[in-house]
């Protein structure tokens, strides 16, 4: 089983412009923590495109289960034969906190529909939400009201028996009790024999908690995901090579996501820096691209694929997700993801 823990959010995808972001006072591509009334000001400026369940860790675990459910399709079977790969169907669990409201019910329903076991603490605080402004260049800027997410505590954690991989994100550092829950979950998962995966998830998370993350990651995290900006910030470097070299002291396996360029994989496990080129597509919306990338990479790891196959497959599913609106796996087809 793969277990993920994060912030359960209902995403509202909006159409906006760089001028809108400038007027709001937000940097393009950033994740901004806001209160509910501030979030509604953003929504009022932009055109609503759709609403769907989201949150980084949830998007990642949903990707794992989408792959597992479709890998035995004709397109999936052909992909496996062509690349000489084996498949498995890991079960999945998601841990978080939601409100006693319609959004909380909707989030749980989606997880069940996508065959992810929900372990959701129900709180009197409204379910968290994120207003995601997508500009014409397909960049997404998030305005997140955490709401019930902030109520997650170590007392809400399930047992970790049978968990082989535990995944969480840097967003857990935004409140002390969430950080405590992430730390406790990591310890329990490791005691149960699981590997630990962390997606830094946002450069502003690194800016806020750089020292805490640098001291926490070593000895706890087996697989570290970050994009270029996040890894540069985490390691205080300004080039891919120096960032990857510095990050090798943090985790045995480091994966740097570089968008359309693909990814770099390094750390003690690789022996040398591995580069996997991205797949060129016409992006519609980059929401969830990095999350789905992590899901694809982790799926390959639990199947025992070599690191290049993991990286190339992660690039493949990320490239597919950016061609649809929102991180909506229901819009993906096996032919799109597994096809040539």
pLDDT confidence of residue 3: 98
Q: pLDDT of 163-192, one tens digit each?
A: 999 999 999 998 999 999 999 999 999 999
Q: pLDDT of 140-149, one tens digit each?
A: 899 999 999 9
Q: Residue 233: is its pLDDT beyond 80? A: yes
Q: Residue 270: is its pLDDT beyond 70? A: no
Q: Which long-range contacts (CB under 8 A, 24 or more apart) does 230-235 make?
A: 230/200, 230/201, 230/202, 230/203, 230/205, 230/206, 231/200, 231/256, 233/203, 233/206, 233/207, 234/200, 234/206, 234/210
Domain 2-7+54-127+147-338 has what CATH class?
A: alpha beta
Nearest to 253 by CA among 203, 206, 196, 192: 196
Can you read off the two tokens belonging to residue 168?
């969480």
Can you read off the two tokens belonging to residue 131?
């207003």
Q: Residue 204: is its pLDDT beyond 90? A: no
- Please give the full DSSP string across 62-115, using - where no structure is assigned: HHHHHHHHHTTSHHHHHHHHHHT-------EEEEEEEESSHHHHHHHHHHHHTT
Q: Residue 126: is its pLDDT beyond 90? A: yes
pLDDT confidence of residue 278: 92
| Cβ burial, residue 257 (10 Å; 0-12/13-18/19+) | buried
What integer is the mean pLDDT of 101-126? 96
Return d(Cα 10, Cα 126) in angstroms, integer: 11
Parse the chain into domains and list their residue ranges: 2-7+54-127+147-338
Q: Which residues contact 40 (CB under 8 A, 6 or more apart)?
A: none
Q: pLDDT of 48-67, one tens digit each?
A: 888 888 999 999 999 999 99
């Amino acid at each position: 089983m793969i277990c993920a823990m994060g912030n359960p959010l209902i995403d509202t995808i909006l159409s906006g412009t760089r001028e809108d972001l400038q007027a709001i006072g937000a940097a393009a591509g950033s994740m901004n923590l806001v209160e509910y009334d501030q979030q509604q000001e953003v929504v009022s400026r932009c055109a609503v495109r759709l609403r769907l369940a989201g949150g980084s860790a949830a998007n990642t675990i949903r990707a794992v289960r989408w792959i597992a459910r479709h890998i035995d399709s004709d397109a999936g079977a052909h992909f496996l034969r062509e690349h000489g790969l084996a498949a498995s169907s890991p079960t999945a669990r998601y841990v978080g906190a939601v409100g006693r409201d319609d959004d909380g019910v909707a989030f749980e329903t989606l997880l069940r529909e996508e065959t992810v076991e929900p372990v959701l603490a129900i709180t009197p605080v409204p379910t968290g939400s994120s207003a995601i402004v997508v500009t014409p260049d397909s960049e997404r800027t998030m305005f997140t009201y955490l709401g019930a997410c902030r109520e997650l505590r170590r007392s809400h954690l399930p047992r970790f028996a049978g968990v082989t991989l535990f995944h969480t994100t840097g967003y857990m550092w935004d409140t002390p009790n969430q950080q405590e829950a992430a730390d406790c979950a990591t310890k329990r998962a490791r005691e149960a024999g699981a590997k630990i995966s962390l997606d830094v998830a946002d450069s502003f998370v690194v800016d806020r908690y750089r020292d805490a993350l640098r001291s926490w990651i070593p000895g706890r995290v087996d697989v570290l995901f970050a994009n270029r900006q996040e890894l540069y910030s985490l390691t205080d470097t300004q080039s891919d090579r120096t960032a990857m070299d510095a990050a090798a002291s943090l985790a045995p396996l480091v994966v740097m996501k570089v968008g359309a360029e693909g990814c770099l994989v390094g750390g003690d496990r690789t022996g040398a820096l591995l580069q996997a080129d991205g797949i060129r597509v016409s992006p519609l919306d980059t929401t969830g691209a990095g999350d789905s990338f992590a899901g694809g990479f982790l799926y390959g790891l639990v199947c025992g694929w070599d690191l290049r196959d993991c990286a190339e497959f992660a690039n493949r599913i990320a490239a597919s997700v950016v061609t649809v609106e929102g991180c909506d796996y229901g819009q993906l087809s096996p032919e799109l993801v597994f096809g040539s």
